[in-house]
Every structure is written in C-alpha cells, then in structure tokens.
Amino acid sequence: MTTPVQKSLIGAMLASATALPAFAQDISWIYCGDKIDPVHEQYIAEWEAANEGWTVTPEVVGWAQCQDKATTLAVAGSPVAMAYVGSRTLKEFALNELIVPVPMSEEEQAEYYPNIVDTVTFQGTQWGVPIAFSTKALYWNKDIFEEAGLDPETPPETWEETIDFARQITENTDYAGYGLPAKTMDNTMHQFLHWVYTNNGQIIDADGNIVMDSPEVLAALQAYQDITPYSVEGATAYEQNEMRAIFLDGTVGMIQTSVGAAFLLEDTDIDWGVADLPLGPDAEGPGTLLITDSLAIFDGSGVEDKAIEFAKFITSPEVQEAYEAGGAASLTPLRPGRAVDDMLAAGPYWQPFIDGIEFGGPEPLFTDYRGFQNVMIEMVQSVVTGAAEPEEALSEAAAELEEYK
Amino acid sequence: MTQSRAAWYFAWALLAPAIIYVLVIVAWPLVETVRLSFTDASLRKTVNYVGWENYTRIFDRDFAEIILRTFSWTFFSVLLKMVIGMFGAVLLNCAVPGRNLFRILTMPPWIVPMAIGIFMWGWMYNGQFGMISGLLQRFGFVDGPVAFLAYGNTAYWATIVTDVWIGVPMVTIYFLAAIQAIPRDLYEAAWTDGASRWYRFRRITVPLMAPAIITMSMLSLIATFNSFDIIWILTQGGPSGSTTTMIIDTYQTAIGSKKYGQGAARAVVICIFLSLFCLAYFRMTRKLSRQEKV
C-alpha cells in the first residue's frame, strides 16, 4: 500500500516528467537545399548549448518546393518559426501578415554592403535577415574573341561594345556572340534586371509607383532586341544555367552569370576572363541586380522573438563569413571585411562581383511577385521573338504591373 | 434482431471503408474546391465569398485561348496515340521472327520514370547539344542549331510528340490484346474469299476493335487533357504562353500566384469538362454493350 507521501512523490515525478517537453522549445526552420551546410550545423549546436531549453530543427526541403511549403504551412495556420525565402516575396508575406518584422539597428545595417538592406526593406522596416547574396558579371571566351579578330584581353565595357563584339563573333566565327537566356523562368527576368541596373533604370520606386516605362528601361529592352540576332539561336529555350553550360562548352563568346561559373571554368581548357557588367548610356557606375535570400520569421509560431534572435545569430558576421567561405562558396559576400579582402587577393576574379554592388538595385518588391515576374518574362520574350517592338512591349508591361504592385 | 436487418448492417459494414475512403479522398476535396472557387482565398488570412466573380473573370480572352489550346493539344495527342498505337499493334501481331522481343521493345517509354523520359526529350530538343538538331544539321536539312522549345509552334508540337511517346506503349499493348481476341477463323474465311490485307483490316479488325478503340480513346482523352508533367518540365507553359493548357494555367494561378480562389474556379471548370468526357465514355460503353447483347 502506498502512503500519501509516496503518492505525492509519484505524482510529482509524473508531473515533472510530463512537463519536461514543455520546457524544451523548438525553432522549426525550413532549410532550402539538399543538405544542411556543415557550418550551420556547427553553429546551431553552439547556439543550442548557449540557450538551454531551446532547440533548432531544420527541415531540408528541395529548392523547387521550399518556398511553397513554407507559404502553404503559414496560410494553413500552422507556420514554421523560420524559413529560407527569396527576399522578393517579403512584401507579399508582410502585407498578408504572414511574417513579422525583423528590424535592424543602424549598426547592423551599416555592416552590409550598400543596397543589401534595401532588398529586405519595406515600409521603412526590415522583414527578413539576408543569408545569401548573388551578383553577376560578364564572362568572355578569349579564344573566341581572338578568332573573331577582337582583342582577347579587352572585354566590352558598354552595351554598344557588347552588341558590336557579339556581331563580330557571329559574323567571323562559327560561334554565337552572346548568350541571352529568355526561357519561361525567373532568371529571364533577373537577367533583364541586370541590364536595367546597368543603365540607372528602375521598375518601382520607393513609394510603390511603377516607373518602368522610362528611357533607361526602354534602352535596355532595345539593347535586348539589338543583341538577339547575335545570340545563341532560340533564346527562349534556354535559362541562365543552360546558357552557362553552352559557355562551358566553348561555343558562345559572352554570358552574364554568377561567380559559380568561375569555379566550373577552372576545370576546363577555356581561356576566359570576367569583367564588370557592360554599362548602358545612362549608367552612373557599375551595376548589377542584387538578389538576396533571407530568413523570414513567420507570425503565429509562438517563438517569434527567439527565432529573430537565432536568425540574427546564424547570419552574424562570424557565422556568415564561415558559411560563404565553405559550402556556399558561390555566394557573393554580404558584408565587406578582412575575409573578403583575403578572398579577392586569392581569387581576383571576385572583383567584378563586388564592383557592381554600389550601383546595383534590389529585386523589386511586389504584392504579387509571381504576377510581376510573368509580366516581365512575357515582355522580354515578346521582344526577343520579334512578336513586339520594345516601346509597345514596355508600355503594355508597365500598365499590367499596376495590378501586381 | 432479424436476419435481414443483420444482413443489412453487415452489408453497410462492408461498404463503410469504401464509402469513408470516397468521402475523404474524393468528395470532401471536391466540395472544398467548389466552395473555395466562390471565395477570394489567397495569402490573406481573411477569406470573403465573391459569388461568381472568379468564374466571370476567367472567361476572358486569354482563358478562351487556353481552353482552345487545351482541346487542340489533347486532340492531336490522342489522335496520334491512337493511330500509332493501332499501327504498332498490327505490326506486333504479325507472325515475324523475334515478335516477343519487339513487344518488349515497345515498353521502355512506359517503363522509364516519366520525369526522366521528359528530361531526355528536353535534351533531344536542345538546339546546342540535342540529337535532333544535330542530325538535322548533319544531313543538311538546316544551316544551324534549331532550339525546338524556343518558338511557340515548335514547342507546341514538341510537347505533343513527347506526350505521344509516353502514351503510345499502353495504347499499343491494349490494342494488341484486342486484336488477339478477334477469332482467327474470320480472317481465314476472308482470306479464302480473296479479301486483301487492307480489306480485312478495314472490315474485320477495325469494326471488332471498336469497343477497345472507343474505350482507349476516352481514357487517353481524360489523361491527356489533364497532362501536366510534360509541359511543365519542358516549357513551363512558354514561350509566351504557347504551351499553356488549362491544367498549367490552374497551377500557375493557384500555386504560383497564390490565388487559391481563382485557381479553384479553374479547377472546377476542368472538372466539368472531364465529367462530360466521362459521361460520354459511359454512354458509349453502355451503347456498345447493348449492341453486343443484340
């Protein structure tokens, strides 16, 4: 027979045993990719050790489903605490109250390269913490340049030169002059935005007005039309990485792509160079589209504050430097610093990817990002295939964008 | 409890799993989709009923084009599958050496995982590395690379060819089984009377295969009308919407743009078309079975 004391003890033990899981709170994290980066694994363990009673549970989801999964869970009312998302979707999430703001102090903002914080800023506050960053530069094939009668050490610096060099390559060799991707894919729009941002153009202003129907953007679309005859045949069949494969095959003179191509080119016999993106007539300096991915904190998980704390920790300079130097080595660094100086010294090909940041622009933030993207792709494809003239395509697209801003 | 009541309970107990399955897997999502189609459901947390607005919005010029494209894409794809499938079945039925091997060789498009088969076609259509463009250049039919997925017309037909490639084995095997079920003595009698091969095919094979042809056409029609993977992997509906069919448009609206209400309305329209096809199929099979009894 048990005494009241024994009963009390058993009761206390049961109560404490059932209460234990409640003490350990979890930050669920949708992590895009094939596997967790070892750097993140290491720092998650470190953070958990420093925050007793808290765990971080990353769920690895393939890139294709990653964002849809986080969105669907949030809309269904069972959000994850944190997800890796394209910064372009932050406005859409914020306006629909799916995520919470992640304000940055002035000191935190000052750590980043210029314009990076703009990619996550909407209505004066930040809605995500940048974790991945990509810029583009121009690659050229020196052997093809030489065969075309061009100076292999001199890449084009302006759009005019780019189009002219592409023409000479097409006319004087068996190769295509330029690799223009225009498939029905998001990077068709990204590529076009590189041209927009190398001509001081803009799609939507800080007040949310569509300002795309401008001479700067029209010049970019006109340049697209002009370079198409000297590009790889059938631009609308290829996306950015497929165009990169053609460049790696040594059959196209120039492409615009990320630093990842430099790593792949090192394993080929191609004599290549990389330079700043060529500039349009209205450019103020080297530019590029600044694409960031961010950690967004979803509303309703119950651990928002701690998730923000963790997001800032996992993207803090020390962790981010290790991440960018390790498995995510094809990313452009988010912040300047000694690590970047060392990287530039070891690999001078990095320089153009840093140069473009100053005059670069963010992916425009729209309330319906996919609608915006479809309009931009349609505009580019209509010009590339000759279905529309640049002026007409631009005006039509600018009008359509009003629906999605 | 009487014996008949016990039998009644027992019957319902046996039916219950199937009924629950149908209610949960089919009926509830269908009802929910219809309900959603009358709302403005999107990423917003609030959902409002909007009456017929989603339906009136989708019947604009673009959607009418998409419906027409879906029907033409389905028509050509099913027609080609039937014609090639019939041709293949007749060939495989011939008494030639190694016939079993040929029968096995028709299967790979069906056996290979669909996504892999589609990626393979994607590479074959590639202008720079693709086999088709390479062969056309080698034999002098074209001067330079041809990117089949780059232009509206060629992309449209390229997706149909891939769909036909994947669908033909099933049609062929089904038709082969139907041909083998035709009594041999009919052919022997016709041959004795001096009927040509073509005459025998027209007057014996085709009429006796009519039920199989109709059944396969209808089943293929339903599957093809809803075909998503092929177009999505090859072109994502592009370039410039030239391969966007109703199912692609529905996906882009509901999942891509997160306009769940509008996407649901599109899905309901597809469902209505498919229900009509099913209705036609059941009526035809009923008619055929009545004819057989007569």
Nearest-CA distance A153 → chain B (Å): 27
Give the residue numbers spanning the domain of B261: 60-293
- The pairing of beta strand A252-257 with beta strand A176-178: parallel
Rounded Cα distance, A216 and A194, in Å: 12
Q: Give the confidence band of A18 by pLDDT, cuts at 50, 70, 90.
A: very low
pLDDT of residue A8: 54
pLDDT of residue A23: 54
Cβ distance A183 to B238 less than 8 Å, yes or no, reads: yes
Q: Give the confidence band of A192 by pLDDT, cuts at 50, 70, 90.
A: very high
What size, in residues, is chain A?
Answer: 405
Chain-centroid distance of CA B184 in Å reads 32
Cβ distance A377 to B238 less than 8 Å, yes or no, reads: yes
Question: What CATH number should be reported for the domain holding residue B282?
Answer: 1.10.3720.10
* A144 has a pLDDT exceeding 70: yes
For Cα atoms B173, B176, B177, give the angle at the middle one, nearest 5 degrees: 90
Give the chain A residue nearest B244 (alpha carbons).
A184
pLDDT of residue A17: 46
pLDDT of residue A21: 44
pLDDT of residue A16: 47
Q: How many CB atoms lie within 10 A of CB B35?
A: 14
Cβ distance A93 to B43 less than 8 Å, yes or no, reads: yes
Q: What is the pLDDT of residues B214-232, one digit of tens each?
A: 889 999 999 999 899 999 9
Nearest-CA distance A183 → chain B (Å): 7
How far is residue B16 from each of residues B3, B5, B6, measured CA to CA in Å?
A: 20, 16, 15
Interface membership of B43 toward A (CB under 8 Å)? yes
Q: How many CB atoms lie within 10 A of CB A113?
A: 20
* B271 has a pLDDT exceeding 50: yes
* B246 has a pLDDT exceeding 80: yes
Q: Give the confidence band of B283 by pLDDT, cuts at 50, 70, 90.
A: confident
Residue of B123, A373, A66, B146 lying closest to A58 (CA atoms): A66
How far is residue B108 from each of residues A224, A240, B81, B116, B132, measured CA to CA in Å?
A: 42, 32, 16, 12, 20
Query: Are A24-133+291-348 and A137-287+366-401 the same fold in CATH?
Result: yes
Q: Give the confidence band of B293 by pLDDT, cuts at 50, 70, 90.
A: low
Least confident segment among A178-192, A302-316, A374-388, B85-99: B85-99
CATH superfamily of this structure's domain A24-133+291-348: Periplasmic binding protein-like II (3.40.190.10)
* A19 has a pLDDT exceeding 60: no
> Mean per-residue pLDDT for A159-186?
95
pLDDT of residue A5: 52
Peptide bond into B239 cis (omega under 30): yes
What percent of chain B stands above pLDDT 70? 98
Give the chain B residue nearest A368 (alpha carbons).
B257
Q: Hey, of B36, B40, B125, B128, which one would you mutate to test binding to chain A, going by the most A CBs within 10 A of its CB?
A: B128
Q: Give the confidence band of A22 by pLDDT, cuts at 50, 70, 90.
A: very low
Rounded Cα distance, A379 and A389, in Å: 10
- The pairing of beta strand A25-32 with beta strand A82-86: parallel
Of A237, A242, A382, the CB nearest to B240: A382
> Mean per-residue pLDDT for A33-60?
93
Nearest-CA distance B159 → chain A (Å): 13
- What is the DSSP annotation of chain B? --HHHHHHHHHHHHHHHHHHHHIIIIIHHHHHHHHHHTB--SSSS---B-TTHHHHHHSSHHHHHHHHHHHHHHHHHHHHHHHHHHHHHHHHHS--TTHHHHHHHT-HHHHS-HHHHHHHHHHHH-TTT-HHHHHHHHTTS-SS---TTSSHHHHHHHHHHHHHHHHHHHHHHHHHHHHHTS-HHHHHHHHHTT--HHHHIIIIIHHHHHHHHHHHHHHHHHHHHT--HHHHHHTTT-STTTT--HHHHHHIIIIIS--HHHHHHHHHHHHHHHHHHHHHHHHHHHHHHHHHH-
* A358 has a pLDDT exceeding 90: no
Which residues of A are less than 8 Å from B126 in CB distance? 237, 242
Q: What is the pLDDT of residues A72-117, one digit of tens each?
A: 888 888 999 999 998 988 988 998 889 999 999 999 999 999 889 9
pTM: 0.82
Domain A137-287+366-401: assigned CATH number: 3.40.190.10
Within a domain: B231: yes
Least confident segment among A2-11, A150-159, B52-61: A2-11
* A1 has a pLDDT exceeding 50: no
Give the chain A residue nearest B42 (alpha carbons).
A75
Helix (H, G, I), strand (E, B) or coil at A258: coil
Which residues of A are less than 8 Å from B127 in CB distance? 232-234, 237
- The pairing of beta strand A137-141 with beta strand A252-257: antiparallel
* A2 has a pLDDT exceeding 60: no
Q: pLDDT averaged over chain A?
A: 89
Q: pLDDT averaged over chain B?
A: 90
Q: What is the pLDDT of residues B127-175, one digit of tens each?
A: 988 999 999 999 989 888 899 999 999 999 999 999 999 999 999 999 9
Give chain A's end-to-end CA distance (angstroms, integer).
74
> Mean per-residue pLDDT for A46-60?
94
Which residues of B are less than 8 Å from A378 in CB distance? 240-241
What percent of chain B stands above pLDDT 90? 57
* A330 has a pLDDT exceeding 80: no
How far is residue A60 from each of residues A28, A57, A101, B218, measured CA to CA in Å?
A: 11, 10, 24, 41
Q: Where are the domains of chain A?
A: 24-133+291-348, 137-287+366-401
Give the chain A residue nearest B144 (alpha carbons).
A233
Residue of B173, B172, B182 lying closest to B206 (CA atoms): B182
Cβ distance B239 to A232 less than 8 Å, yes or no, reads: no
With a CB cutoff of 8 Å and minimum separation 6, the contacts of A336 are: A113
> Mean per-residue pLDDT for A296-319?
94
Which residues of A are less than 8 Å from B42 in CB distance? 96
Of A185, A242, A387, the CB nearest to B236: A185
Rounded Cα distance, A241 and A258, in Å: 10
Which residues of A are less than 8 Å from B237 in CB distance? 184
Of B43, B150, B240, the CB nearest to A237: B150
* A41 has a pLDDT exceeding 80: yes
The total of structural domains in chain B comes to: 1
Cβ distance A97 to B45 less than 8 Å, yes or no, reads: yes
